[in-house]
């Protein structure tokens, strides 16, 4: 399924509704992800670009999986998410060890100056055009310390032609989750794609569904939007299902593209 346009009414609030419905089963659906290993590999990449300090702003932090493994290492974390229910679960896990705030990344507040700002798990693919992407990236730049680094991942075209074009069933912890990708296996670059996650569809009265609507951002468009947002790209990596970032990025093979950036000199964005 390819969506050429999404009107203003569709844009406002749909991502929040999706993650409010997704929150109770998010950790169940992602239980197989090795966050400890993945985050360690990402930090190792950042250290190659001079990461110093342990202040993190985690944009789209969800239930906390993208920052909790860092806390034992002395990181000082601020996390934000558009979903109150996702944040509620993150607060329970963090137990006061992180500052957590509700925020829309398209209008990101100035939370402070951070050594690292990141947005993981394809959060930026929920931006449906280049203007929304630029606004989100500019907000992240405004939260960077002078020597701070930005890291984010986005899904590749390969991900939309596979995962977003397939049906997957997960049965775990008493839940049955059915992911129905609605994209075509030959979906064009830059398309908006949908999938629907059915939550316990065989449980009368309890079943729910959430729509995941994402846009594919080709590398050239991401690089151009980074520059418009006042950021300088330092490196681009590809990542497969093993979670290990490698160069060069190959959108026909990798499932995620990982970008590292910093504030451009004399930026006015």
In a domain, 26, yes or no: no
The reported pLDDT for the residue numbered 204 is 74
Rounded to whole angstroms, how far apart are CA atoms 257 and 254?
7
Asked whether the predicted pLDDT for residue 12 surpasses 90, the reply is no
In a domain, 168, yes or no: no
- pTM score of the predicted model: 0.94
In a domain, 171, yes or no: no
Rounded to whole angstroms, how far apart are CA atoms 49 and 262?
10
pLDDT in tens, 124-159: 999 999 999 999 999 999 999 999 999 999 999 999
Instruction: With H, G, I as helix, E, B as strand and everything else as coil, classify residue 195.
Output: strand
pLDDT in tens, 200-234: 998 876 668 999 999 999 999 999 999 999 999 99
CATH code, domain carrying 131:
3.40.50.150
- What residue ranges in 108-255 does DSSP mark as E strands? 114-119, 144-155, 167-172, 175-181, 192-199, 208-215, 231-239, 245-246
Phi, psi for 55 (deg, rounded to 5): -105, 120
In a domain, 145, yes or no: yes
In a domain, 7, yes or no: no
Number of domains in the chain: 1
In a domain, 227, yes or no: yes
- What residues have CB less than 8 Å from 152, skipping those under 6 apart? 118, 119, 120, 123, 124, 140, 258, 259
Q: What six digits make up the tokens of 135?
A: 């606004």
pLDDT band at 236 (very low <50, low <70, confident <90, very high): very high
Q: Give which of 109, 132, 116, 134 is closest to 39, Cα–Cα.
A: 116
Question: What residues make up the domain containing 222?
Answer: 31-155+218-263
In a domain, 134, yes or no: yes
Q: Looking at the chain, how many residues does it have?
A: 269
In a domain, 37, yes or no: yes
């Amino acid at each position: 399924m390819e969506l050429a346009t999404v009107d203003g009414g569709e844009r406002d609030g749909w991502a929040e509704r999706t993650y409010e419905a997704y929150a109770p089963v998010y950790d169940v659906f992602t239980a197989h992800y090795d966050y400890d290993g993945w985050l360690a590999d990402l930090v190792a990449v950042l250290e190659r670009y001079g990461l110093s300090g342990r202040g993190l702003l985690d944009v789209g932090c969800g239930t906390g999986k993208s920052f909790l493994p860092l806390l034992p290492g002395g990181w000082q974390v601020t996390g934000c998410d558009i979903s109150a229910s996702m944040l509620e679960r993150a607060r329970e896990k963090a137990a006061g060890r992180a500052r957590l705030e509700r925020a829309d990344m398209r209008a990101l507040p100035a939370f402070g100056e951070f050594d690292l700002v990141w947005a993981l798990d394809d959060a930026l693919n929920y931006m449906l055009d280049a203007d929304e992407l630029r606004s989100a990236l500019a907000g992240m730049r405004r939260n960077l310390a002078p020597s701070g680094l930005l890291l984010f991942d986005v899904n590749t075209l390969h991900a939309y032609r596979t995962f977003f074009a397939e049906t997957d069933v997960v049965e775990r912890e008493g839940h049955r989750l059915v992911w129905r990708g609605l994209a075509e296996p030959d979906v064009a670059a830059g398309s908006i794609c949908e999938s629907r996650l059915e939550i316990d569809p065989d449980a009368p009265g309890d079943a729910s569904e959430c729509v995941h609507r994402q846009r594919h951002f080709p590398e050239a468009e991401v690089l151009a939007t980074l520059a418009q947002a006042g950021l300088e790209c330092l490196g681009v990596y590809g990542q497969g299902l093993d979670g290990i970032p490698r160069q060069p990025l190959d959108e026909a093979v990798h499932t995620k593209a990982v970008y590292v950036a910093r504030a451009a000199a004399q930026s006015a964005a």
